[in-house]
Amino acid sequence: MSRNYESLHDPNAEYTMRELSAETMEVTGSRGGDRDIEITDVQTTMVDGNFPWTLVRVYTDAGVVGTGEAYWGAGVPELIERMKPFVVGENPLDIDRLYEHLIQKMSGEGSVEGVTVTAISGIEVALHDLAGKILDVPAYQLLGGKYRDRMRVYCDCHTEAEADPDACADEAERVVDELGYDALKFDLDVPSGLEKDRANRHLRPGEIRHKAEIVEKVTERVKDKADVAFDCHWTFSGGSAKRLADAIEEYDVWWLEDPVPPENLEVQEEVTKNTTTPIAVGENRYRVTELRRLIESQAVDIVAPDLPKVGGMRETRKIADVANQYYVPVAMHNVASPVATMAAAHVGAAIPNSLAIEYHSYELGWWADLVEEDVIEDGYIEVPEKPGLGVTLDMDAVEAHMVDGETLFDPA
């Protein structure tokens, strides 16, 4: 076995990525001026929001710090700590090279999909914030510029009586009229009281009528004031999903999301091609390699990657580029804090086929307090012109809402 291969896969090897670059890749060389910067540390802390958000900070010897976010989940901070030796000493401007390096170094620990990709995503987002600050450009500029100045946001809505069609319609009207959103989403995998055995994924006729009534009441209430999507959370069988999609074809449905489990691409394709109801899928698939198959088989009408889960900002851009070849729009799934939400806005601004970004925290009163800047106003995100992501963590708010046992980031 060659020394280079051992160095690539052994975390204890004495060779750094820069040395490997000289031996096996192009020599990166000196940048000159303010671009000769090295990463000195990577830190995480978890905030107890409506999900346990994992915030990531990448520190440099120039005193510039980048902030990112990884999708929530057990083991993410530990994996980021595990990867820290692979990026310390490297130039943070080499975002693509460092991303591929982390994918390679973590290949034995699952960097094809899953939580390892999520952990890498958090570092990748922080690198975009950092590179933008170093180069004094907003993050969207690193992705090729922008198509739009602001990003539409769709509000994921909930009620205490989530299975009551009238309650859902009331909440839809409130969110549109009082909160200013013109795009909404409601859950359809809610109990109807008619279930016999939810484990078999089969929908009885009465269950389908109940779900269709939710769709009817909500869409009729808001009419043309808002687009409305409906989420199924991978709950139903292929046959039941087709029957449900058929039952709601007459209503103004923006999309029906994740009607079947994500593993079987053929079933997903069958459902999508047997209805005129638009089908959205994507949050439970990883990297462009997995979503490419979904798009190329035309098993999806709208693709819905989750940026801090799927691989980060550039990986989401790659997914959008593939989707664009098939004229498929992108609606980014998002249950994140303001940090990854703003990262999604930068990507959404930089791709032609962007529909909207999800907002899942409208019931969490302090979501906006986590950063110093305003993020969502009247259902839209103005894409910042400040360097990097354009948001600044409010450390007092972070400290106030940290998960028990977490420690605050070191000061920059």
Domain-located, residue 236: yes
Mean per-residue pLDDT, 340-352: 98
Mean per-residue pLDDT, 88-95: 96
At residue 245, does pLDDT exceed 70? Answer: yes
Is residue 125 located within the same domain as residue 182? no
Mean per-residue pLDDT, 398-410: 93
| Segment among 19-33, 71-85, 320-334, 335-349 with least mean pLDDT | 19-33
Secondary structure (3-state) at 291: helix
The confidence band for 30, taking pLDDT boundaries of 50, 70 and 90, is confident
At residue 405, does pLDDT exceed 80? Answer: yes
How many domains is the chain partitioned into structurally? 2
Domain-located, residue 313: yes
CA-CA distances (angstroms) from residue 287 to 115, 259, 309? 12, 21, 9
The answer to whether the beta carbons of residues 346 and 140 sit under 8 Å apart is yes
For residue 370, which amino acid is it? Answer: L
Mean per-residue pLDDT, 218-234: 97
Q: List pLDDT tens digits, range 122-161.
A: 999 999 999 999 999 999 999 999 999 999 999 999 998 9
Tell me, what's the pLDDT at 29? 58
Instruction: State phi, psi for 67 to the nearest 5 degrees.
Output: -115, 135
Tell me, what's the pLDDT at 194? 83
Angle (CA) 237 242 246, round 5°? 150
Element (H, E) at 96: helix 95-105
**Residues β-bridged to residue 92:** none
At residue 201, does pLDDT exceed 50? Answer: yes
Is residue 179 located within the same domain as residue 271? yes
Is residue 147 located within the same domain as residue 133? no
Please tell me which residue, 223 or 13, carries the higher pLDDT value.
Answer: 223
d(CA 180, CA 175): 7
| Segment among 12-26, 123-137, 139-153, 332-346 with least mean pLDDT | 12-26
d(CA 412, CA 410): 6
At residue 171, does pLDDT exceed 80? Answer: yes
The confidence band for 108, taking pLDDT boundaries of 50, 70 and 90, is confident
At residue 15, does pLDDT exceed 50? Answer: no
Q: Look up residue 395 and give its two tokens.
A: 């450390």
The confidence band for 28, taking pLDDT boundaries of 50, 70 and 90, is low
CA-CA distances (angstroms) from residue 14 to 20, 22, 329? 11, 15, 45
Is residue 104 located within the same domain as residue 152? no
Is residue 168 located within the same domain as residue 259? yes
Look up the CATH number of the domain holding residue 366.
3.20.20.120
Secondary structure (3-state) at 76: helix
Is residue 133 located within the same domain as residue 275? no
CB-based burial label for 225 (10 Å; 0-12, 13-18, 19+): middle
Is residue 30 located within the same domain as residue 149? no
Q: Domain span at residue 209?
A: 142-393
Chosen domain end from 88, 118, 138: 138
The confidence band for 270, taking pLDDT boundaries of 50, 70 and 90, is very high
Longest Cα pair distance anywhere in the chain, in angstroms?
69
Is residue 302 located within the same domain as residue 183? yes
Radius of gyration of the chain (CA): 22
Q: List pLDDT tens digits, range 40-78.
A: 999 999 999 999 999 999 999 999 999 999 999 889 999
Mean per-residue pLDDT, 367-386: 97
Domain-located, residue 351: yes
Is residue 118 located within the same domain as residue 157? no
Is residue 132 located within the same domain as residue 147? no
Is residue 174 located within the same domain as residue 116? no
DSSP H stretches of helix in 274-362: 287-296, 307-310, 313-325, 338-350
Q: List pLDDT tens digits, range 295-310.
A: 999 999 999 999 999 9
Look up the CATH number of the domain holding residue 57.
3.30.390.10
Is residue 171 located within the same domain as residue 133? no
Secondary structure (3-state) at 272: helix
Angle (CA) 375 61 400, round 5°? 40
Domain-located, residue 410: no
Tell me, what's the pLDDT at 11? 46
